[in-house]
């Protein structure tokens, strides 16, 4: 179980202190899927990076399975059981996909294990396993490879920052199927930061963050009508073309 208690994050900008997150509290139960959504610039990606240890909070606590991990480094949090997928996956010139999977797993993987991981995200294993994880791969290819690296090791909780960003419709459909499978297995908790309705409606619970604060949170059946219901059309909370939350272009 993940518990986030009164998390705040401030930065210094041009000699002035700006508050990016303010008193954010929530929890994620074992096997639960929480989707975090809201307008761009609201602090969602910053929150994800704080959970992974990329940024350190100004105040508050992060508790994983009863253990305070607030001061832990990225490596320590990974060993504690947190997996993380960036909005834009990093690329590694000179590193093969095979090597990347080995590193993600924390041990040497067999040929069959590597092939199974790539196949599970819809990639032809023999076509990709010895390619470099660099700019020659498309955004959709890198997204799926990054998910394969997260799947290479068992985690207590996995965080995906806008997994739909920059990928084609076919790749997006593959990701949806994989998330559904992970969720149905209930072996790992999931936090997905997303604007896409198909992802949001998969959640057990939804949390909306705007201007650095939790605007609303609750079960999907309660929050979904607030986001996409006919009663909020006049507030531009739905984009007819993309099915996404306002501000998410």
d(CA 159, CA 42): 17
- 120 vs 132, residue with greater confidence: 132
Read off φ and ψ for residue 98, nearest 5 degrees.
Answer: -60, -50
d(CA 240, CA 243): 6
Nearest partner of 154 among 107, 191, 99, 105, judged by Cα: 105
Backbone Cα Rg of the chain: 18
Read off φ and ψ for residue 235, nearest 5 degrees.
Answer: -95, 10
Cβ partners under 8 Å of residue 186, min gap 6: 30, 31
pLDDT tens per residue, range 72-86? 999 999 989 999 988
Q: What tokens were used for 212?
A: 């650095």
Q: 9-18: which pairs have CB atoms within 8 A and are 24 or more residues apart?
A: 9/43, 9/46, 9/50, 9/55, 9/57, 9/58, 9/212, 10/58
Cβ–Cβ < 8 Å for 97, 130: yes
What rounded mean pLDDT belongs to the chain?
86
Number of Cβ within 10 Å of residue 36's Cβ equals 27
Reported confidence tier of residue 140, pLDDT bands at 50, 70, 90: confident
pLDDT at residue 199, rounded to an integer:
93
Reported confidence tier of residue 247, pLDDT bands at 50, 70, 90: very low
pLDDT tens per residue, range 95-113? 999 999 999 888 999 999 9
Indicate if the pLDDT at residue 12 is higher than 60: yes
pLDDT at residue 249, rounded to an integer:
35
pTM for this structure?
0.82
Instruction: Give a three-class secondary structure readout of 95-145.
Output: CEHHHHHHHHHCCCCCHHHHHHHHHHCCCCHHHHCCCECCCCCCHHHHHHH
Share of the chain above pLDDT 90, in %: 51
pLDDT at residue 240, rounded to an integer:
38
Indicate if the pLDDT at residue 145 is higher than 60: yes
d(CA 147, CA 97): 12
For residue 199, the number of C-alpha atoms closer than 13 Å in the C-beta half-sphere is: 28
Share of the chain above pLDDT 70, in %: 92
Indicate if the pLDDT at residue 232 is higher than 60: no
Number of Cβ within 10 Å of residue 244's Cβ equals 23
pLDDT at residue 243, rounded to an integer:
52
pLDDT tens per residue, range 171-215? 778 778 888 888 888 889 999 999 999 999 999 999 999 999 999
pLDDT at residue 244, rounded to an integer:
53
Indicate if the pLDDT at residue 30 is higher than 70: yes
pLDDT at residue 234, rounded to an integer:
35
């Amino acid at each position: 179980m993940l518990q986030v208690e009164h998390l705040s994050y401030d930065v210094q900008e041009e000699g002035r202190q700006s508050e990016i997150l303010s008193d954010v509290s929530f929890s994620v139960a074992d096997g639960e899927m929480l989707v975090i959504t809201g307008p761009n610039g609201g602090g969602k990606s910053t929150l994800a990076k704080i959970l992974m240890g990329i940024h350190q909070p100004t105040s508050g606590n992060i508790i994983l399975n009863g253990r305070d991990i607030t001061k832990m480094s990225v490596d320590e949090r990974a060993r504690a059981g947190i997996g993380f997928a960036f909005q834009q996956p990093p690329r590694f010139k000179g590193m093969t996909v095979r090597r990347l999977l080995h590193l993600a797993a924390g041990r040497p993987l067999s040929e069959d294990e590597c092939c199974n991981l790539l196949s599970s995200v819809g990639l032809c294993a023999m076509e990709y396993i010895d390619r470099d994880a660099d700019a020659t791969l498309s955004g959709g290819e890198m997204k799926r490879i990054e998910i394969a690296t997260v799947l290479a090791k068992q985690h207590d909780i996995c965080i995906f920052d806008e997994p739909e960003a920059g990928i084609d419709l076919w790749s997006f459909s593959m990701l949806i199927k994989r998330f559904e499978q992970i969720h149905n297995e209930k072996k790992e908790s999931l936090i997905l930061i997303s604007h896409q309705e198909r992802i949001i409606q998969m959640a057990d619970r939804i949390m909306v963050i705007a201007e650095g604060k939790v605007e609303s949170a609750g079960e999907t059946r309660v929050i979904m009508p607030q986001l996409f219901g006919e009663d909020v059309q006049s507030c531009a909370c739905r984009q007819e073309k993309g099915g996404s939350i306002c501000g998410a272009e």
